[in-house]
Amino acid sequence: MIYCGIDWAEKTHDVALVDDTGQLLAKRHITDDLAGYEILLGLLAEYGDTKECPIPVAIETSRGLLVAVLRTGRRQVFAINPMAAARYRDRHAVSRKKSDPGDALVLANILRTDMHAHRPLPNDSDLARAIAVLARAQQDAVWNRQQMANQLRSLLREYYPAALDAFAKWDNGLCRPEARELLRLAPTPTQAARLTRPQITAALKRVGRKRGIEAETERLREVFRADWAHQAAPVEEALGQQMLALLGQLTAACTAADDLAHAVEDAFPQHPDAEIILSFPGLGTQLGARVLAEIGDDRARFADARGLKAYAGASPITRASGKKSSITRRWVKNDRLNHAGYLWAFSAITASPGAKAHYRHRRDDAGDWHAAAQRNLFNRMLGQLYHCLKNRKLFDELIAFPTAQEPAAAAA
């Protein structure tokens, strides 16, 4: 049995091959381009790599062209956490010396000794991986949009409180196109106070508003013309220029989030698991795509539902030593899936009577706080999702929460 370890870097990589006794068979220093990939594949073929029996590879990343090349065919690729690799390095060198060729050898030996304890990259379909790219990018764009909106709100508090008061009643506030158009038209409170009714009306119509234009025009005009404290005129103008720069970044972030959301809406329904995922209460297209992006469609990835729950950080973890024992939530988890689970559980409480009853039971009877009760609900629904995906069944409220239906049936 031959094992391969690759110390990944931005421009070059170090490769090491060892046999089942730990003897170093070969090592190479390759570049991160097509020529380097061909050298790597040739080296693997030289030591017995075939389509039927490929050599397993350990590397410290799960992304990039090198990983894509290695994942062709049936080869198992193991993405080893750099922190775990550092602990293995201490087993062989107490002096804590470090080198790139040495790290490649350490990674190869990880597979030789503990391959059974590490999980290879999932064998997801190309469509699932494409959805994962879009869903994660859309999630990043939403986070970036919120970050830019927070920066803009903080700046407006310094010199333009009228704008914050004017847009407070709108959903999404500063991210709405009406708010961004009015800020572009009047970047300072002095300019906003001079806006006429036709100018405000035209601005609302330019961004597509159809209803309540006259009432909103009057309300905005009253807010902008009310008495507010002002910065000195030169300072106000300078802050207005800074605000326009932030506004441009916020507009770009809003456009990116919307475009990626449309791309997710086009790609996600094409996946065979989409119908099952969307049958669950609280999961829409965007949130369902995020869940699929993190769990994938490789049914052999998790041995049982407990593995998936631990991966998502929904199940608790027990720490015991001697007479001391504590049960706490997991800190090492898939943060994206955990975040999606929080939103999923929050939405399911209002979309599913059974989910709401389970949440109230955890709050009232078990004494959980809000976050703990939601995490427990997410843990339960994640197990239900695992079962439905494995058995190709849609979500059924009566089967998922049977106890919640008994009081209703008795009352009838």
Residue 143 domain flag: yes
What is the model's pTM?
0.85
pLDDT digits over 66-88, tens only? Answer: 999 998 888 899 999 888 888 88
Q: Determine which helix (DSSP H) or strand (DSSP E) holds 311, and give its type and residue range.
A: helix 305-312
Nearest Cα to Cα of residue 362 among 351, 347, 378: 378
Residue 147 domain flag: yes
Residue 73 domain flag: yes
Give per-residue burial for 47-73: e unless 16+ CB within 10 Å, then b: eebeeeebbbbbbbeeeeebbebbbee
Q: Which residues touch 271 (CB under 8 Å, ≥6 apart)?
A: 127, 128, 131, 292, 297
Nearest Cα to Cα of residue 359 among 369, 349, 367: 349
- The pLDDT of residue 321 is 78
* Cβ-contact 388, 377 below 8 angstroms: no
Q: Determine which helix (DSSP H) or strand (DSSP E) holds 177, and give its type and residue range.
A: helix 177-185
Domain check: are 51 and 92 in the same one?
A: yes
Domain check: are 156 and 282 in the same one?
A: no
Q: What is the mean pLDDT of residues 11-32?
A: 92
Residue 122 domain flag: no
Residue 152 domain flag: yes
Nearest Cα to Cα of residue 158 among 229, 82, 106: 229
Q: Give the confidence band of 409 by pLDDT, cuts at 50, 70, 90.
A: very low
pLDDT digits over 312-362, tens only? Answer: 988 887 778 777 877 777 777 889 999 999 999 999 999 999 999 999 999
* Cβ-contact 118, 110 below 8 angstroms: yes
Domain check: are 246 and 296 in the same one?
A: no
Domain check: are 288 and 395 in the same one?
A: yes
Domain check: are 241 and 158 in the same one?
A: yes
Domain check: are 111 and 221 in the same one?
A: no
Nearest 10 degrees: Cα torsion 261, 262, 267, 269: 90
Domain check: are 244 and 287 in the same one?
A: no
Q: Give the confidence band of 95 by pLDDT, cuts at 50, 70, 90.
A: low
Q: Give the confidence band of 30 by pLDDT, cuts at 50, 70, 90.
A: very high
Evaluated on CA atoms 346, 340, 116, 110, the torsion sign reads negative
Determine how β-strand 324-328 pairs with β-strand 12-19.
unpaired
Range(s) of the domain holding residue 366:
275-411
Tokens found for residue 335 = 């943060």
* Cβ-contact 105, 18 below 8 angstroms: yes
* Cβ-contact 195, 185 below 8 angstroms: yes
- The pLDDT of residue 10 is 86
Question: How buried is residue 123: exposed, middle or buried, by Cβ count under 10 Å (0-12/13-18/19+)?
Answer: middle
Residue 142 phi/psi, 5-degree rounding, is -65, -45
- The pLDDT of residue 327 is 74
- The pLDDT of residue 239 is 96
- The pLDDT of residue 254 is 95
Residue 123 domain flag: no
CATH number at residue 17: 3.30.420.40
pLDDT digits over 357-394, tens only? Answer: 999 999 999 888 999 999 999 999 999 999 999 999 99
- The last residue of one of the domains, among 244, 266, 288, is 266
- The last residue of one of the domains, among 84, 117, 150, is 117
Q: Determine which helix (DSSP H) or strand (DSSP E) holds 402, and give its type and residue range.
A: helix 402-411
Domain check: are 389 and 298 in the same one?
A: yes
Residue 317 phi/psi, 5-degree rounding, is -125, 140
* Cβ-contact 76, 119 below 8 angstroms: no
Mean pLDDT (the chain) is 90
Nearest Cα to Cα of residue 7 among 43, 59, 56: 59
- The last residue of one of the domains, among 230, 245, 266, is 266
Residue 124 domain flag: no
In this prediction, what percent of the chain has a pLDDT beyond 90? 70
Residue 343 domain flag: yes
Domain check: are 249 and 152 in the same one?
A: yes
- The whole-angstrom separation of Cα 100 and Cα 327 is 39
Domain check: are 238 and 138 in the same one?
A: yes
CA angle 395-396-400, nearest 5°? 95
Domain count within the chain? 3
